[in-house]
């Protein structure tokens, strides 16, 4: 049997996730069967199950893909400030969320993932771990801003980070409910709230 390359595996995995995103956006998680996913991906059940054991695993992979870029962005801002404020960091995260929503419907899928996480304890824990990662990165940015006098020093950085993390679900909810046009000004509003 010929060896399959990493590139092939990555492309096949992305093919399956792209199909899952499309069918989940169309039907929602609960109304989507594995048969629907096989048909959308144009793959056999065996081909799909090689990558994902269940629909829940696909939901988690979609959530992770959506949040991974935001966590990386926040980590980058925490490491390499270059004079950027917390407002600039949140604005950049908001712009990334808007781009991902335009590419693959992140906002509507995000709302569905949150709802599913309330029902599924494994998904809830995985999602909570991802959100804690964002909160940790934002807390580091907050510490730096507190030390520089740009944010109040009397509040624990983790508490301020918790409030700031809440901005991102708000952005996602507005994108899902109102679309990109009504949320276009949010990045500039964040920069104005917390200027450099």
The CATH number given to whatever domain includes residue 7 is 1.10.10.60
CATH number at residue 133: 1.10.357
Q: Which of 190, 67, 57 is nearest to 131 (CA)?
A: 67
Q: Are 82 and 116 in a shared domain?
A: yes
Domain final position from 35, 53, 71: 53
Q: How many domains does the chain have?
A: 2
Domain match, 176 and 105 both: yes
Same domain, 44 and 114: no
- Give the number of residues written for the chain: 196
Residues 142 and 101 placed together within one structural domain of the fold: yes
Range of the domain at 42: 1-53
What's the pLDDT at 81?
62
Q: List Cα–Cα distances, 60 to 76, 92, 118, 133, in angstroms.
A: 24, 24, 13, 15
Instruction: Give burial (CB, 10 Å; 0-12/13-18/19+) of 53.
Output: exposed
pLDDT of residue 33: 94
What are the backbone dihedrals phi and psi of residue 112, each rounded to the nearest 5 degrees, phi first?
-65, -40
Same structural domain, 39 and 130: no
Residues 86 and 132 in one domain: yes
Residues 48 and 136 in one domain: no
Give yes or no: residues 66 and 117 share one domain: yes
Select from 22, 38, 53 the last residue of a domain.
53
Residue 34 has what pLDDT? 94
Q: What is the pLDDT along the chain (196 residues), one digit of tens a residue?
A: 567 788 999 999 999 999 999 999 899 888 999 999 999 999 999 999 999 999 888 988 888 887 777 777 667 766 676 667 788 888 888 898 898 889 888 888 888 888 888 888 888 888 888 888 888 888 888 888 888 888 889 999 999 999 988 888 899 899 999 999 998 999 999 999 888 7
Looking at the structure, tell me whether residues 164 and 152 fall in a common domain.
yes
Q: What is the pLDDT of residue 123?
A: 82
Q: Which residue has the tokens 């629907």?
A: 36
91 and 43 inside one domain: no
Q: Is residue 28 domain-shared with residue 121, that is, in the same domain?
A: no
In this prediction, residue 142 carries a pLDDT of: 87
Residues 139 and 173 in one domain: yes
Where among 38, 53, 68 does a domain terminate? 53
């Amino acid at each position: 049997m010929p060896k399959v390359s990493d590139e092939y595996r990555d492309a096949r995995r992305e093919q399956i996730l792209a199909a899952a995103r499309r069918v989940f956006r169309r039907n929602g998680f609960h109304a989507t069967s594995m048969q629907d996913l096989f048909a959308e991906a144009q793959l056999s059940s065996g081909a799909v199950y090689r990558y994902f054991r269940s629909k829940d695993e696909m939901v988690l992979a979609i959530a992770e893909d959506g949040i991974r870029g935001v966590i990386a962005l926040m980590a980058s801002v925490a490491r390499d400030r270059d004079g950027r404020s917390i407002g600039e960091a949140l604005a950049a995260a908001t712009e990334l969320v808007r781009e991902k929503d335009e590419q693959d419907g992140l906002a509507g899928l995000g709302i569905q993932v949150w709802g599913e996480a309330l029902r599924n304890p494994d998904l809830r824990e995985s999602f909570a771990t991802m959100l804690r990662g964002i909160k940790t990165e934002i807390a580091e940015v907050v510490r730096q801003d507190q030390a520089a006098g740009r944010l109040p020093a009397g509040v624990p950085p983790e508490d301020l980070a918790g409030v700031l993390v809440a901005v991102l679900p708000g952005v996602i909810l507005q994108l899902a409910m109102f679309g990109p046009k009504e949320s276009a000004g949010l990045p500039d509003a964040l920069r104005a709230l917390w200027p450099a």
